[in-house]
Each structure stands twice: as structure tokens, then as C-alpha cells.
Amino acid sequence: MHNRSLKDDIRDYWAERSQTYDASPGHGLGPRRAEWQALLSRHLGPAEGRQALDLGCGTGEITLLLQALGFATTGLDMTPQMLDCARAKARGLPVRFIEADAALTMLPDASTDVIVARYLFWTLTDPAAALADWHRILRPGGTLLLIDGDHVTPPPLARLGPLMDRLLGKDPTAAHGLVTQAQWRAHAGIVARLPFRDGLRAQDLTVQLEKAGFATARRDTRIAALRPMGWRQRLLRLGTHRFAISARRAI
């Protein structure tokens, strides 16, 4: 009998979510695209002559922003259905996509100048091993940018969401309005087995980066690109912990 791993469940979950992923605000960049681009530029610096790797690239939203900034860009993801969406968006552009495990890339040593991982780190089954691999494939002086947060702990006012929906109707700016109940159950089963099942905090990640040999360069916790759309979502998500941390591999 085949024994399914946690990574198998994660891959299959995102395969099922691939067709609606971009429709969730905060996943698809939509009207926040310019703010996301500014966030990347602020942390990564000039793109000219540099290679960038988007890990856990999903449908390629960040991959395409990196390419637009001028990086020679590769997107990597272990879910074929996500990569199909990404390749369709990138048709005609000089972007490469690789189907592989973002936590064990199998890429050559010192092969990229920049690594970006958005909403990936908190889902890793072995965070320390992933950081070791990313340190290995970064060139000396290269930058790792992690955009993530506590995706487990509900903000204080989140419980008001169902009441607002009953009074005002469903909110079209709600981030996960298209996720089915079956998908939520699958998601809960996955989260319960993750190292960060109680949430990922910026300070905890900073400690892990330092242990892996990275020097923290910049940490943002108030980020325009991550601000919810619409007054209801801004209210309901008040106090949500999100962050962007960039770190460098020492020369």
C-alpha cells in the first residue's frame, strides 16, 4: 500500500485550488500589483544582471513581477496544475518554470542572486532543511526575501465576519470566499501536522534565519501590498500578523 506523505496532501490541496487561487484577494495581486512591485524593489534592490528564483511560485504572480522588474527569473513549484496556470500567463516571456520541491530544490550551488518565497515558509514540513538548501543555492551576498505571516491565529474581530455577511451580504473582497467546506477541512488537516501549526511570527523566523547563517537585512510588518481591500476586510483583519523579511547570505 502506498503511504501518502504530508507533502502529497499539500500538493493535491493546491492542485484543487489552482483554478481559483488568483481570485482570492491577496493571492492574485489585482489592484495591489504596483504596491507588490514596490515591496520587491525595496527589499531586493536593482535587478540588472541578476537572477531571481520564485519558490512555491504557484500561478506565477510574483514570478511575473520579478521578470517585469528586470530579473532573469525562474519559478519553481511542486504542483503541476499551478505551473500550468503560471506558464499560460507567462507565454511569450523569457521566464523559466521548474516542477520541483521548493524545500529541496536540487539546483546547483550558488546558482541564483535572489530567492523570493511568498506564503511558503509557514507551510514547510522541515523549515531548517529548507533554509539550509536556500543558503546553499544563493550566491554570496545574495538576498532571500520571505513574505509570510501568522495564517493560523484569527485576528480579534474575525468572529464578526459571519454576522456582517448575514447583515450586509457576502463580501466580494473576502480573501477565501471561493474555498469550499471540503477544502477547508483538507486545509485544517494539513495545518494540524505542520511545524507552524500554531502560527509563524516574524521574530521566530528571524531566529531561524540567523541559525541558518543568514544576516537579516530588513523587516517590514506594516506593508501596503498586504493591506486588505474594502473596509470590511480591513476591520475584520485588524491585528493580523503579516511581514516581509529580507536576509543576505554572507560574502
What residue ranges do the domains of the chain occupy?
6-249
Q: How many CA atoms lie within 13 A of 154 on its CB side?
A: 8
The CA distance from 121 to 108, in Å, is: 21
| Identity of the amino acid at 119 | Y
Q: For residue 69, give every residue at least 6 positions away whose Cβ sits within 8 Å of its Cβ, in sequence order, or none.
A: 37, 40, 41, 44, 47
Angle at 59 between CA 57 and CA 63, to 5 degrees: 50
pLDDT per position as a tens digit, 39-59 = 999 999 999 999 999 999 999
Q: How do residues 113-172 score in pLDDT, each as one tens digit?
A: 999 999 999 999 999 999 999 999 999 999 999 999 999 998 777 777 777 777 787 776
pTM of the model: 0.92
**Rounded Cα distance, 86 and 95, in Å:** 10
Q: Which whole number is the average pLDDT over 99-113? A: 97
**At 175, is the pLDDT very low, low, confident or very high (cuts 50, 70, 90)?**
low
For the ranges 32-36, 92-96, 130-134, the lowest mean pLDDT is seen at 32-36
Side chain identity at residue 109, one-letter code: D
Mean pLDDT score across all residues of the chain: 90
- Sign of torsion over alpha carbons 22, 46, 128, 147: negative
Pairing of strands 214-220, 138-149: unpaired
Q: What is the pLDDT of residue 70?
A: 97
Distance CA 14, CA 81 (A): 8
CA distance 84 to 90: 10
Average pLDDT (72-83) is: 98
What is the C-alpha separation between 29 and 22, in angstroms, rounded?
Answer: 8
What percent of the chain clears pLDDT 70, i.e. is strictly above it? 96
- Give the residue-averaged pLDDT of 30-41: 92
Q: Per-residue DSSP letters for 99-121?
A: ESBTTB--PPTT-EEEEEEES-G
Domain 6-249 has CATH 3.40.50.150: yes
CA distances from 217 to 32, 42, 231, 247 (A): 24, 11, 33, 5
The three cell numbers locating residue 76: 519553481
Question: So what's the pLDDT on residue 217?
Answer: 81
**143 in Cβ contact with 248 (< 8 Å):** yes
Task: Provide the pLDDT for residue 1.
Answer: 42
pLDDT tens-digit map of 202-227: 999 999 999 999 998 899 988 888 88
Measured in whole angstroms, the distance separating CA 110 from the mean position of its chain's CA atoms is 22
pLDDT band (50, 70, 90) for residue 2: low
* Structural contact between residues 120 and 102, judged by C-beta atoms closer than 8 angstroms: yes
Per the CB < 8 A criterion, the answer to whether 114 and 145 are in contact is yes
Cβ neighbours around 56 below 10 Å, total: 23
